Amino acid sequence: MCGICGIYNYKHQDPVTPGILAGMLQSIYHRGPDHEGRYEDDAFAFGMRRLSIIALSTGNQPMFNEDKRYALVFNGEIYNYHQLRKQLQARGHIFTTESDTEVIVHLYEEYGKDCADHLRGMFAFAVWDKVERTVYIARDHLGIKPLYYTQQGDRLLFASEIKALLADPDFEPLLDHYALNQYLTLRYVPAPGTLLQDVYLLPPGHWMVCSEDGVVTHQYWDVEFNEKADPTKTEDDYASELKDLLHESVNMRLMSDVPFGAFLSGGVDSSTVVAIMSQLLDQPVKTFSVGFGDDGIDYSELPYARVVAEKFKTDHHELLINAGHFMDHLEDMVWHMDQPIADYAQVAYFLVARLASEHVKMVLTGEGGDELFAGYGRYVGERYAPLFQRIPQFGKQMARTALETLPQLRRVKSALYALSMEDEASRFAHWIPQFTRDNKKHLLTKDVKRQLKLDQSLVKYIIQHTLEGTEAKSSVNRLSYMDLKLWLPDYLLIRGDKLTMASSLEGRVPLLDKELVAFAGRLPAKYKMMGTQRKYLLKKVAGDNWLPDEIINRKKKGFPVPVPKWLRQDAREYTRDMLSPERVKQRGLFDYDFVSKLLDEHERNFADHTTMIYGLLTLEIWQQQFIDGARRPVADVTPVIEVDHVAN
């Protein structure tokens, strides 16, 4: 597990300024405090910060093939590297280490751009070809590991985190207003865009090549759905296959030379992972959970986590957090996220990662089950979409207007708003909005609306364009495809990567193994959602083999945090200061009267505007850090920890 970064002056071949690479590496020190390595070759230079998990003494990077034509830096883990190593040795490749990193460089030597097709794991890596003078960069199938890049004239910069790009003193960070429009609706910015102009996130399942001819990107993999049911397979057959795949996937991710554990929320996904780990290990699993004191008792999931911990006799660790934690850590959390996501559960995730890092260097987590097996409420909501389409538009508008006069009922209002949309793409975009289309008309200033030309269709276009990539017909699979392509990588997995690595902790996601994703793609939709029962087959398998009914049938919460209450009480003054009239007006993005209305209604408990307020709050903090330069990395940072493999 590492952080990687690099610079390529691909047109003029001017030498790379060493201080910039040093600053980039220092800015991602937290991703790999165990080692630093660099490679420099005239107009090209890249480096890495390593968090040692396997092959502790021999896994340092960069790594090379036999004749040192190819140099590699790599972030992630490859779980099938033992099999790949044997195959490559049979074809004459010579290895000098036991690490998974070395497998990738030989795989590139053997298969070139197709090398990523063979990998089973999470990764973002770069290969420098000193003969062809090209750099090949690839990101894993589901987007577990991020890779950002920017072109500054004829120069390419790439890195595991956006903040590393800021180490280039010539790079001027500017807010991308079109990306802001996407963020305000979706809560996040879909790849390849980011909130910064000319900074891009390589999409999942893509590779990129930069040469003297420029930059080219290509999609090498996509999620596939085969909706033709296999008549020879029964429900029990599918259940047996799923059980075996879950067992295999968790087992593969126990590969480690350092202590490890698991996040445990008490939900089906994380509890299933912990249950399988307990079967496979001969010592108690170290588990980590967060909860709240008296001010957040209604939000706490600790009772469920304790049920699982007691059942499997784990070495269980808990952290109680409060409004003080929220305010103390919010700004650091935004910095580590690189760009805001309107998800106040980040606070809990950030702090449980801090807790875990005090005991282990790697954890398994439960992300992916909801996207693969229809776990969200919106999957049920889509079942009612055809019925709502029959209701005249004026009838839906009247219902929405009536609900707006009532306090609370946030989820009901959101569902009704989504179901009132006239087309699939608009409906998908509004199942979990930060600001609805109507909200944004009041929120944005006239100048911003003029700049965007009221382009509210941009988000709809992104959804439409995404859905063009699948041939799935059922609403369950179409929504699943969108979640796997957008929500999962650009919201949940980015959160997981940034907030674990902020504490030098590796997070692994067994439910997103490539083979499990392929299984979900061929699983009949009826076994994902049976009537209105979500995650039907996953719950059946987990309930029949591992988990008690009180976990299987509990209400889904995720990582709930009592932020709604904190914004009304302990964090009220802090929030008011960050979103003061002076700050809001100086930015020139939002109408302060509307922002003030949100704050007033939330504080007097007329409505729950937590998502909108939190989204605006973290956006302001992010602008102070990334746009105003409050935390910009310095290019000539010292000291340099260690330098390996510098080219002659």
| Tens-place pLDDT, residues 235-266 | 999 999 999 999 999 999 999 888 899 999 99
Asked if residue 484 has pLDDT above 50, the reply is yes
| pLDDT recorded at residue 638 | 37
Asked if residue 640 has pLDDT above 60, the reply is no
| pLDDT recorded at residue 456 | 55
Asked if residue 415 has pLDDT above 80, the reply is no
Task: Show Cβ contacts of residue 341 under 8 Å, excluding neighbours closer than 6 positions.
Answer: 187, 188, 491, 494, 495, 618
What average pLDDT does this structure show over 449-468?
Answer: 82
| Tens-place pLDDT, residues 593-631 | 999 999 999 999 988 999 999 999 999 999 999 999 867
What average pLDDT does this structure show over 298-302?
Answer: 74
| pLDDT recorded at residue 396 | 64
pLDDT band at 107 (very low <50, low <70, confident <90, very high): very high
478 within 8 A of 424, measured Cβ to Cβ: yes
Task: Show Cβ contacts of residue 232 under 8 Å, excluding neighbours closer than 6 positions.
Answer: none
What average pLDDT does this structure show over 272-285?
Answer: 97
Q: How far from 476 is each of 377, 379, 465, 482, CA to CA, in Å?
A: 11, 6, 18, 10
Q: What is the pTM of this model?
A: 0.93
Q: Is 122 helix (H, G, I), strand (E, B) or coil?
A: strand
| pLDDT recorded at residue 644 | 41
| pLDDT recorded at residue 261 | 97
| Tens-place pLDDT, residues 150-166 | 998 889 999 999 999 99
Asked if residue 108 has pLDDT above 70, the reply is yes
**Of the listed ranges 202-206, 215-219, 400-404, 465-469, the one predicted with least confidence:** 400-404
**CA 81 to chain CA mean position, Å:** 24
Crossing angle of the two packed helices 268-280 and 235-252, in degrees rounded to 10: 70
β-pairing, 2-9 vs 155-159, is: antiparallel
| Tens-place pLDDT, residues 114-142 | 999 999 999 999 999 999 999 999 999 99
Please indicate whether residue 5 is annotated as part of the active site: no
d(CA 612, CA 615): 5
Percent of the chain scored above 70 by pLDDT? 91
Asked if residue 467 has pLDDT above 90, the reply is yes
pLDDT band at 637 (very low <50, low <70, confident <90, very high): very low
502 within 8 A of 350, measured Cβ to Cβ: yes
Asked if residue 551 has pLDDT above 70, the reply is yes
| pLDDT recorded at residue 258 | 87
| pLDDT recorded at residue 405 | 57
What average pLDDT does this structure show over 28-54?
Answer: 91
165 within 8 A of 26, measured Cβ to Cβ: no
Half-sphere exposure of 519 (CA within 13 A, CB side): 23
454: left (phi over 0), alpha (psi -120 to 50) or beta: left
**Of the listed ranges 120-129, 309-318, 329-338, 413-422, the one predicted with least confidence:** 413-422
What average pLDDT does this structure show over 299-319?
Answer: 92
pLDDT band at 402 (very low <50, low <70, confident <90, very high): low
Task: Pinpoint the alpha helices (H) of 296-345.
Answer: 302-311, 323-337
What average pLDDT does this structure show over 390-413?
Answer: 66
**Of the listed ranges 27-41, 463-477, 549-563, the one predicted with least confidence:** 549-563
| pLDDT recorded at residue 295 | 56
CA dihedral (155, 160, 165, 168) in degrees, to 10, reads -70
Crossing angle of the two packed helices 268-280 and 302-311, in degrees rounded to 10: 20
Asked if residue 546 has pLDDT above 50, the reply is yes
| pLDDT recorded at residue 492 | 97
d(CA 410, CA 429): 16
Asked if residue 412 has pLDDT above 90, the reply is no
Q: Which of 201, 136, 207 is nearest to 165 (CA)?
A: 201
Asked if residue 75 has pLDDT above 90, the reply is yes
Half-sphere exposure of 171 (CA within 13 A, CB side): 32
d(CA 590, CA 565): 24
Across-strand partners of 121?
78
Mean pLDDT of the chain: 90
Q: What count of residues does the chain have?
A: 648
Asked if residue 276 has pLDDT above 60, the reply is yes
What average pLDDT does this structure show over 356-364?
Answer: 96
**Of the listed ranges 139-153, 160-174, 270-284, 619-633, the one predicted with least confidence:** 619-633
| pLDDT recorded at residue 223 | 96
| pLDDT recorded at residue 153 | 86
| pLDDT recorded at residue 647 | 39
Asked if residue 483 has pLDDT above 60, the reply is yes
Phi, psi of 260 (to 5 degrees): -145, 170
d(CA 582, CA 279): 58
What domains lie within the chain, and their CATH numbers? Answer: 2-219 (3.60.20.10), 235-374+487-552 (3.40.50.620), 379-475 (no CATH), 566-627 (no CATH)
